[in-house]
A and B are shown apart, each in its own frame.
Chain A
């Protein structure tokens, strides 16, 4: 199985901040990575797929980059509704595997 490691596991940020979350795969997954946002008691919501393609309806302050083993999710100008936990998912091979999550809370 491909192991996905996110960093940091948690972070505190202020409104308007630029936030960067990284995800590292244990082997190359080309650009086959997705990012999800999950709020307490809710299902994950797709934000980005194919490493950098923004899902329809997702605000443009979310962006993704990377290829191979190293990927980044960036949230510019953090908004109140962005405080949540973020997960990466490798879509290169089965079984699909997720990162352990990064919780973004209010500083």
Chain B
């Protein structure tokens, strides 16, 4: 059974870089791996994805500040979000993207439990 688990600091200072890691247990690493966040009382927001081929995509709203990387040997993928502000306070989820018909219309089928990151001095 595939499980995802986020880890990282729960408090980040404004203007610094938020860094999170998602550990994947079980299953192959050939999927697209993603980050999604949810600010308090707000809707879910797609951050970006990474694939073992090196393919990556980022939400244009965050693209200038985001990097997502994958280390298949460690079975981990990571999120770096730079120059954070209070608006980046959210629960951050790592998730797997899955597509039954290989047409690129994938959805988030497995999720980590989420980690709350607060941006505050």
A residues sitting closer than 8 Å to B (CB atoms) are 1, 32, 34, 36, 42-46, 49-50, 53, 55, 87, 89, 91-92, 94-101
Taken together as a complex, chains A and B put the C-alpha atoms of A44 and B44 apart, in Å, by 9
Residue pair B107, A87 in contact (C-beta under 8 Å): no
Bound complex: CA of A49 vs CA of B100, how far in Å? 10
| Residues of B with C-beta under 8 A to A101 | 43
Query: Which residues of A sit under 8 angstroms from B113, Cβ to Cβ?
Result: 42-43
A-B contact count (CB 8 A): 56
Q: Do the beta carbons of A43 and B59 come within 8 Å of each other?
A: no
A96 and B114: CB pair below 8 A? no
Using a CB-CB cutoff of 8 Å, which residues 70-92 of chain B contact chain A?
Answer: none
Residue with the highest number of chain B CB atoms closer than 10 Å, among A43, A44, A101: A43
Query: Which residue from B57, B60, B100 sits with its C-beta under 8 Å from A50?
Result: B100
Given contacts A43-B113, A43-B114, contact A98 B106 (CB under 8 A): no
Mind listing 8 A-B residue pairs with CB under 8 Å? A34-B108, A43-B112, A43-B114, A46-B108, A50-B100, A91-B105, A98-B44, A100-B43
Of residues 25 to 78 in B, which have CB atoms within 8 Å of A's CB atoms?
A: 43-46, 57, 59-61
A69 to B35, CA, bound (A): 26
Nearest neighbor of B111 in chain A, beta-carbon distance:
A43
In the complex, chain A residues whose CB is within 8 Å of the CB of B59? 95
Question: B109 and A98: CB pair below 8 A?
Answer: no
Q: Do B93 and A43 touch (CB < 8 A)? A: yes
Nearest-neighbour CB distance to chain A for B17, whole angstroms, equals 21
